[in-house]
Amino acid sequence: MGQRIEVDSTTLIDDTAVFSTNRSLTGTDGEGFTSREEASSSDTFPARLASELFEADDALTRVYVDQNVLVVARSAAWDDTSTTATERLIEDFFLFYPEEPAGS
């Protein structure tokens, strides 16, 4: 249930990743967070997504969501594993029952 978000592109710039999606996640104002606790203090969709991202990756230092773009910074370098995991979390965010990976 729900509609999958598609990550159209991912751009890595040093310790920052920019994820462009096919869905708008905010209004015209962006929202930024520097911790799970800060994100958890709000009930907006960007705050909930940021909270899930912080929970999934201890190396995250900032999440900024503006319309269909997420800018996510890490204290450690991005690698294929962290990039793929973040993309998957973004893509499944609106799904009430996320799909199980093939072979599960």
Q: Given the structure tokens 């900032």, which residue do they identify? A: 62
Predicted TM-score (pTM) of the model is 0.87
Q: Rounded to the nearest 10 degrees, how much is the dihedral formed by the CA atoms of 4, 8, 102, 53? A: -70
Residue 23 Ramachandran class (φ > 0 left, ψ -120 to 50 alpha, else beta): beta
Please indicate, yes or no, if residue 16 is contained in any of the structural domains.
Answer: yes
As for how many domains the chain has, the answer is 1
Q: Domain residues for 23?
A: 7-91
Query: DSSP class of residue 15?
Result: T
pLDDT of residue 84: 96
Write out pLDDT tens, residues 33-91.
999 999 999 999 999 999 999 999 999 999 999 999 999 999 999 999 999 999 999 99
- Report if residue 36 sits inside a domain: yes
SS3 23: coil
What CATH number does residue 26 fall under? 3.30.1370.70
Q: What is the rounded distance in angstroms from the CA atom of residue 97 to the CA atom of residue 82? A: 22
Q: Identify the band that residue 28 occupies on the pLDDT scale cut at 50, 70 and 90.
A: confident
